[in-house]
Amino acid sequence: MGRLLGVLFGLVALVFLAGCGATPTVALLDWTFVPPGGEAREVRFPAHVDGWLPHAPCTYRLLRDVTLEPALRGRTLTLVLPTLPARARLWANGTEVADLDPLWESDYRSVGPHRFRIAPEATAQGELHLELEVRHVWTQSGWVDAVPQLSATVDGDPRSLVVRALNLTLSTTAFVVSLLMALSYAIIFLFGGRHRYAAWFVVAAAAGASYPAFLMGITQGLFGVYDAAVMGASMTLATYASVRFVHGHCGLGPPHWLWELLFAVVFVNAVVASGPFVATYVSGPAVMALMLVSAAYQTALFLRMVRTRRPTHVWLVPLAWPLATVSGFVDFAAWFGLGELLGGVRFGAGPGVLSLVQSVALSREFIVSARQRDELNRALAAQVDALKTSNDEIRLLNDELRRQVSQRSEEILSALRPCTPARPPSSPAPWWRVATACCGASGPAAWAWCTKPNATAMGAAWPSRPCPSPESRGSSSASSARRGRWPRCPIPTW
């Protein structure tokens, strides 16, 4: 906020220092005001003459006789009216003078100072009779809030040129920045997922761009003399949308229902009091009062966010509207009818400041999100590496377990095996010799041991037809076969 105030004070100093040159300049304060069909009267500018005019389109005149100083005689002079938002024509000694900034046929007001270049022939005699004809079609076409300046220049006095350049630059910048931020937040709203509240900022930025568009003269080509009322309704909508966006961004929930009521009242007032001769006095103060109340409310929210130590990108959002209000203090003063505090400077930068601060908050939030995403990615990569290491260890343990199980199984099988010949015979031996040699027994014991697996393992030939065991000799072969465990072998002879 300190930097913003520093920039504002720098611009103010630039405006005032621009008038400190050596250019001969005459301030024309006193004029004669001639209303249509009325009595002429003397006025001293700055002044508002709309109170002496009917609330209907008309034309009035401003007259002034000037005795030129020797330094101004026979030279090209330029008359500058810093603020007179109306169509105007000038005659110097009865000769019409061309406006250096001509208006389009559809324009009903100027968007900057009027500059009239007076030829040296008109100034050669030292006496100059000026007659200014003004077309009065809305309230502020009767407001002359800055003193007209007559200077020995071709394009106007330096201060007027600085004011003109500042107004054009600031209003254009604010208009472009507001539209760009509206587009950015529209993308966030459409593709941002959880940022659904961004739609409110789209409304706030787009509606707020109506004020710099008004200063640039864009709206008068669209709405004519009703563009001031349209701008007031748009700023009302921008104010309410800003409150809704701040609540959504800061996680405060919907605002109080009184905000909706206040918005509805001011908006309806702006629509109803939309006439060119009533909008400035009726709807204008209501809209500006709503904007000031919103600035005070969001300042309180900003202080609350700071006290609770919320992140920077959170408390920057409620700070935006108060900063925009501070930057537009000269505009508020002018619309309240307090005159031009800086000699015609209209910053028109409120919506631009609002959008810039919001863009800073958006960038800050993006940076924080990117850092958090990188930290999460690093943590996830570390966990994946740990899982890979654990899997390798588990694989090694499984291999070792399989090896130990296999070894133990071999040991168990070796312990359970009855006998193992040192050297298997090269040719199959009769089964009874194998049984006798291994078990040291013959007869029934050999029969009990002599099964097909054991005999085959010992290299003995297994007979193809069954025979009864010795103890059951004399029984039938079929009875012996039903026992299942008897070997198939030739009948031995003991």
pLDDT in tens, the chain (494 residues): 445 445 554 555 555 455 555 578 899 999 999 999 878 999 999 999 999 999 999 999 999 999 999 989 999 999 999 999 999 999 999 999 989 998 988 899 998 899 999 999 999 999 999 999 999 999 999 999 999 999 999 999 888 888 888 888 888 888 988 888 888 888 877 876 556 777 888 898 899 899 999 999 999 989 999 999 999 999 999 999 999 988 988 888 889 999 999 999 999 999 999 999 999 999 999 999 999 999 999 999 999 988 888 877 778 888 888 888 888 888 899 999 988 888 888 776 667 677 677 667 666 666 766 677 778 888 888 888 888 888 888 888 888 888 888 888 888 887 776 554 444 444 555 544 544 444 444 444 444 445 555 555 555 544 544 444 444 444 444 444 444 444 444 444 43
Instruction: Report which of 165, 177, 214, 94 is spatially closest to residue 358, judged by C-alpha positions.
Output: 177
Backbone angles phi, psi at 88, to 5 degrees: -140, 150
Two structure tokens written together for 253: 């929930």
Query: What are the distances in angstroms from CA 468 to CA 219, 430, 492?
Result: 122, 16, 10
CA separation for the pair 272, 263 (Å, rounded)? 14
By CB atoms closer than 10 A (0-12, 13-18, 19+), residue 409 is exposed
Distances (CA, A) of 283 to 209, 231, 290, 392: 19, 10, 11, 76
- In sequence order, what are the residues at sequence separation of 6 or more whose Cβ sits closer than 8 angstroms to the Cβ of residue 416? none
What count of other Cβ atoms lies within 10 Å of the Cβ of residue 98? 12
CA–CA distance, 211 with 440 (Å, rounded to integer): 119
Q: How far apart, in whole angstroms, are the C-alpha atoms of residue 276 and residue 57?
A: 10
Tokens of 121: 């022939």
Q: How far apart are CA 42 and CA 148, in angstroms?
A: 15
Token digits of residue 195: 């940022």
Number of H helices, E strands in the chain: 16, 12
304, exposed or middle or buried, with CB in 10 Å at 0-12, 13-18, 19+? middle
The CA radius of gyration of the chain, in Å to the nearest whole number, is: 51
**Closest alpha carbon to 299 in 282, 326, 317, 318:** 318
